[in-house]
Structure 1
């Protein structure tokens, strides 16, 4: 810890000190303030620092990565439609952001915001290329798909490439019904295009127009190393606020220094002995050292916290009975109860804060562990006999917390009652709490937010549409990891647990067309679901080959993976092989003739976690680790299943065939797969003639009939390759005509062991690899889809 503190102190002594950053932000805010006669909108996150709270009309989130070269897109998660009525009321809006040293303007302002304008204009004026409603001055802009960019900063070729994508972006928005041309017109107040312009220090005149809505993209920071009127000895920092978590560290204001704390609590502090800003100049005292400034900031922050200010904001989501909010301190229960009448449940996600329950109120507390996260559930009875459930999960508002959310979402959803008022709190108020509300709405509410008596079918489009509607009410921005947790929970078919750990739902292995009569009982909950069509995500196990990890297999199967996950919403679970190869001498081949080169390659294999396999074939003909691998797979399937199918490559395909054959017997509660997809698969064989070797037979014989006469299954493993008499699985076998590692005849021999009606074969022209071209994969995908969905509806 001492070394960490010393490093932090040393870093602060350099040019990028906290004092230098805060003073640079103050300096840049003066430039932004010259646009005060316009509606100022801050672009999250950096832009929020440059607009004081009393100046800001709203915030939006145009992300620079959505405008990076070759990665242009219209974000369906960050819709920013709250900007439309502000444009409608004001005509001109100034969008404030900044960027770090070396750039004049961030891509968020150069390209992401212009893409947004172009897509909405394209929707607004679609099918009206000859319409007189489009003024003559905008005809050329319309021909360019409404894309406007500053040509001095965006090249002609890049501009043209982006413009070509605008129709595609617009179609995606309209297909999901996120907004229509009539809704755009209604929110703007009149039908006029939204046209961007760009401002930066040194170019300060905003062009006001009456024939369109103007989005003025303003970068707050100067690009100069030292602006002419910068009076300090320490350097000016362009884009000083960027990535504030990296410089506003945990020893400053308890790690809570952000734009709100700085402008609302630090900048205007009135007490002489602690304030850091000279009220006469509006600048940080020049004589104030870095260490003294931080001590004062901490004193101001700590004193404010001790005063017990109400640090919670709650926002309703229409008439759904759902409320989401931000918590920044311990909150008395009575305060929340008073602000939301008939509140029935509070869900709190925070490792730092609690809901304070007064002693006179009786309560019953239960604690449990769900997926490694502690949960506390308090059932509180008020003096007015109103019962409130307070549920606390110690999950922080961060990337890590968003991933941890996945482990508790199922439990949270299991207890939700759409007829009751529920408040969800997290430390950001825009991420985790928004994700939980999104789950509730997607599962229990129609798209017009009418509650349903039964859980509804959910897919990614429905989730996007509900998120869009939430953003119409409040400026939330659930992170990518939070949305992945939401998708996994709503479409992943997990077991739902009660607070006491009892099974609430059995694992539901049901698909389209199934109807269920299910009674769920726990210690605190009794309910029934009758005749409910449940749509549970199709799930596949994916087994990599020799010297591969699950990650590598996912990369090499990218073509198939993308179709199954993005087009069909299937879940693919990529598994690392359990058998570890400890030395390069265990390999059946040399990595290189040169020992040093071989060692280098082996070290690379180990570093990348690729020294794995399903078994090691020894010189005496044994398959070392095979039975342990089978046991490992059976345990995994029992714990994480059910799975509808299995996909394997090479050695992983052979193991997939084995698991396909035996899983119904070894894990009877799971049953057999609906399909197995085997790339370059094979069985364990020996020559009939002991004078011959498998190496020779595999290399020389191409004909299946001849091959079948020459080989037989290894006796000790014969049962593993024998499918049951009533075999319900469709087996897709894919092999390469030029595969020298697993010759096609080996795959064909394995297929000959299955009933002919169960096998579908696909041969490509290549070697030992996974084909990724759609034209080849489409019939394979159709086979998979038919096997999964038709059998589910029988």
Structure 2
């Protein structure tokens, strides 16, 4: 990094520095760690003010970016902007977020927090993905309700031509939801009013003495809070380079505001998580730009050492060089995650039981402490220390995600299913774990369920699997079943492709994605 800066200085002195390199140099300085964290902190104040307008409504973070903007959330959801890109919208049964609909039904509505860097007031997840989701759910619920409003509510900035295009596909998406096997009846039984999105940004005018109570509306509000300040203040330099940051100054420090700073945390956070940030927020903010990097590195390392002392998985943090519900014993298939710290004080280690099988999913951090488990299938890259009756009760398959290896999961699934069959046929309780309990372990569990269980969740040693050819719809239905209980499940498209390829006996030729 120092050598690169020296080269830049030499080029500047010689007058040969290009506009591109100058722009990249400016961008690196402006997108500093302190600028990102200070921007998040300032935006969180706005989110807190809006949440106080309707304190009865639960605050929900849209993973992953939304998690940065408040110290505590009631729940999380997962709506992707890619499902709502202009003129390329879709309804994805892999991300149904039915738990959010149930939460809104129980509490009379909810507020979802997200942000965007793309020069917009709202991310596409809020402009299109969530409005489509509410409309499709309402249309499916209409089968159980009379006089139910199913109109498509989009923000005013969506062109009428695009709205008409979306409306033309609503019947198709509604039928896809019904065919997925989702439990719409349970939502219909709880929901008193149709779901409807409302949009709030920094530019929204709200008369504080006229804020309506959420029960006064004739719909169940899904209030979409965009944490990002408007990008209208963005300017363009004389060289044509877009400058999206806004220069801000306090009595002590000068810094640049970054809209949607919480996005793409791997590129800037240096191992810091939303939990650690909010546990040390005032120390970090008061440290200023010059001490921020050192303080964050110290916080991250101390957290790693503390986890190691507790026997948790705590790998050394490495940075890329800068170049460009409670435990239940009635239904024993469970999934446990620790990525969303909803309490704001420590990682939430939930265990959610799926059906009546003897398979459990978990993050590798809690696998060592799991109780009532007879065998462990570890899909994390690192081995873990577990207390088991015998060495044969533990299998380590270091599986890489599809971004790093397109066939790692596919190549390891035969061994995973054989290990599961060997133990499940003896009535043993199997724990499947991965780094975060959200992706790879979910996909391995999906392959086990498809291969060894019937649609009702009963173990049949693969008999139903052997007489039917698996289709994309079979995969969708079973994934919906898993996600009904594992609300934090976020299997990637690449990993789902590998599961499908395994189930159809593929030899490495990638089939179409199952969510299309």
TM-score tier after normalising by the smaller chain length: 0.7 to 0.9
Greater RCO (Cα-Cα under 8 Å, separation 6 or more): 2
Q: Which residue of 2 aligns with 1:348?
A: 378
Structure 1: segments with no counterpart, 5+ residues:
269-275, 278-282, 364-377, 380-388, 495-538, 542-553, 555-560, 570-794
Q: Which residue of 2 aligns with 1:300?
A: 302
CA distance in 2, matches of 1:246, 1:409: 31
Q: Which residue of 1 aligns with 2:254?
A: 233
Q: Which residue of 2 aligns with 1:222?
A: 229
Aligned length: 431
Counterpart contact for 1:24–1:238, Cα < 8 Å:
yes
1:148 aligns with 2:153: yes
Pick the aligned partner of 1:450 from 434, 443, 458.
Answer: 458
After superposition, the Cα gap between the structure-2 partners of 1:451 and 1:203, relative to the gap in structure 1 and judged at 3 Å, is: same
TM-score for both structures, normalised by structure 1: 0.50
Counterpart contact for 1:350–1:397, Cα < 8 Å:
no
List 4+ stretches of structure 1 deviating above 6 A. 1-7, 9-12, 226-230
CA distance in 1, matches of 2:389, 2:417: 26
Question: What is the CA deviation profile of residues 332-355 of structure 1, one whole-angstrom value per residue up to 9, with x for unaligned ones?
Answer: 4xx33xx2x1x222111222x322
Q: Which residue of 1 aligns with 2:325?
A: none
After superposition, the Cα gap between the structure-2 partners of 1:165 and 1:12, relative to the gap in structure 1 and judged at 3 Å, is: closer
Alpha-carbon offset, residue 426 of structure 1: 0.7
CA distance in 1, matches of 2:363, 2:27: 31
CA distance in 2, matches of 1:216, 1:413: 43
CA distance in 2, matches of 1:203, 1:408: 51
Indicate the structure with greater helix content: 2
Counterpart contact for 1:12–1:18, Cα < 8 Å:
no
1:40 aligns with 2:59: yes
Indicate the structure with greater strand content: 1
Alpha-carbon offset, residue 357 of structure 1: 5.1
CA distance in 2, matches of 1:299, 1:414: 39
Alpha-carbon offset, residue 79 of structure 1: 0.8
Alpha-carbon offset, residue 156 of structure 1: 1.5
Structure 2: segments with no counterpart, 5+ residues:
8-23, 235-244, 314-337, 339-348
Alpha-carbon offset, residue 286 of structure 1: 2.9
CA distance in 1, matches of 2:291, 2:274: 21
Pick the aligned partner of 1:462 from 466, 471, 474.
Answer: 474
CA distance in 2, matches of 1:309, 1:44: 27
Compare 43-52 and 399-408 and name the one that shifted more. 399-408
Counterpart contact for 2:101–2:187, Cα < 8 Å:
yes
1:87 aligns with 2:110: no
Counterpart contact for 1:147–1:163, Cα < 8 Å:
yes
1:324 aligns with 2:361: yes
Alpha-carbon offset, residue 65 of structure 1: 1.1
Alpha-carbon offset, residue 6 of structure 1: 9.2
Counterpart contact for 2:94–2:480, Cα < 8 Å:
yes
CA distance in 1, matches of 2:358, 2:5: 47
**3-state SS of 1:198 partner:** strand
- Give the greater-gyration-radius structure (CA): 1
CA distance in 2, matches of 1:441, 1:11: 51
Matches within 5 A, 1:48-447: 48-52=67-71, 55-126=72-143, 131=146, 133-134=147-148, 138=149, 142=150, 146-151=151-156, 153-180=157-184, 182-186=185-189, 189-203=190-204, 205=206, 208=214, 209-223=216-230, 224=233, 231=250, 232-248=253-269, 252=270, 256-264=271-279, 266-267=280-281, 276-277=283-284, 283-286=285-288, 288-308=290-310, 310=312, 313=349, 314-328=351-365, 332=368, 335-336=369-370, 339=371, 341=372, 343-351=373-381, 353-356=382-385, 378-379=391-392, 389-397=393-401, 399-400=403-404, 403-417=407-421, 418=424, 419-447=427-455
Question: What is the CA deviation profile of residues 239-269 of structure 1, one whole-angstrom value per residue up to 9, with x for unaligned ones?
Answer: 0011111223xxx3xxx323234334x437x
Question: What is the CA deviation profile of residues 491-520 of structure 1, one whole-angstrom value per residue up to 9, with x for unaligned ones?
Answer: 1266xxxxxxxxxxxxxxxxxxxxxxxxxx
Alpha-carbon offset, residue 179 of structure 1: 3.7
After superposition, the Cα gap between the structure-2 partners of 1:393 and 1:162, relative to the gap in structure 1 and judged at 3 Å, is: same
Alpha-carbon offset, residue 46 of structure 1: 1.1
CA distance in 1, matches of 2:181, 2:293: 54
Counterpart contact for 1:11–1:17, Cα < 8 Å:
no
CA distance in 2, matches of 1:86, 1:247: 33
TM-score for both structures, normalised by structure 2: 0.75
CA distance in 1, matches of 2:43, 2:152: 29
Counterpart contact for 1:315–1:325, Cα < 8 Å:
no
Q: Which residue of 2 aligns with 1:777?
A: none
* CA RMSD after TM alignment: 3.3
CA distance in 2, matches of 1:162, 1:117: 13
After superposition, the Cα gap between the structure-2 partners of 1:348 and 1:201, relative to the gap in structure 1 and judged at 3 Å, is: same
Counterpart contact for 1:43–1:96, Cα < 8 Å:
yes
CA distance in 1, matches of 2:477, 2:114: 28
**3-state SS of 1:451 partner:** coil
After superposition, the Cα gap between the structure-2 partners of 1:81 and 1:305, relative to the gap in structure 1 and judged at 3 Å, is: same
After superposition, the Cα gap between the structure-2 partners of 1:194 and 1:345, relative to the gap in structure 1 and judged at 3 Å, is: same
After superposition, the Cα gap between the structure-2 partners of 1:287 and 1:297, relative to the gap in structure 1 and judged at 3 Å, is: same
Q: Which residue of 1 aligns with 2:322?
A: none
CA distance in 1, matches of 2:360, 2:442: 9
Question: What is the CA deviation profile of residues 305-324 of structure 1, one whole-angstrom value per residue up to 9, with x for unaligned ones?
Answer: 34426567454323211111
CA distance in 1, matches of 2:161, 2:130: 19
